[in-house]
Amino acid sequence: MSISAEAFDGVYGRPAAGIRVRLEIAGANGWEVIAHADSDSAGRVTEWGPCIMARGLYRMILSSGRYFTTLGAASAYPEVAITFKISAELDSYRVHVTLTPYSYSTYLTRIPHALKSG
């Protein structure tokens, strides 16, 4: 199983390159950070480093305020947190986010294991 992210800048109509993303999993004692990364030039995070992913409840947090500050813009959302559930361990998932300083939208794509290997 893999989880990736794709961030798009809705103001400038381009990938949100260099945005900080943190991946967390819900545990018995609350949220646990399992990985963090910066988006690449295509606005994607596809590699989280060494972390184990399994079924469960996840949260992806994007540092949208920091991103827009580097562009000289103020932002209403210092962070955008997206909570989602993973139910099939063999499948891959991509969280898509479109950001503007005063709004965001998101959706989750599931890529079934059968489609990846065929």
Q: What's the chain's length in residues? A: 118
What is the per-residue pLDDT for 63?
97
Cα R_g (the chain), whole angstroms: 14
Token pair belonging to 105: 């939208």
List, edge to edge, every strand of the sheet that includes 56-62: 30-38, 20-27, 56-62, 80-86
- In the chain, how many domains are there? 1
For residue 111, give the CATH number of its domain: 2.60.40.180
| pLDDT tens track for 24-77 | 999 999 999 999 999 999 999 998 877 777 889 999 999 999 999 999 999 999
The secondary structure of residue 46, as a DSSP letter, is -
| pLDDT tens track for 74-110 | 999 999 999 999 887 778 899 999 999 999 999 999 8
* Residue 115 pLDDT level (bands cut at 50, 70, 90): low
Amino acid type, 21: V
112: containing domain: 2-117
In angstroms, the CA 70 to CA 99 distance is 14
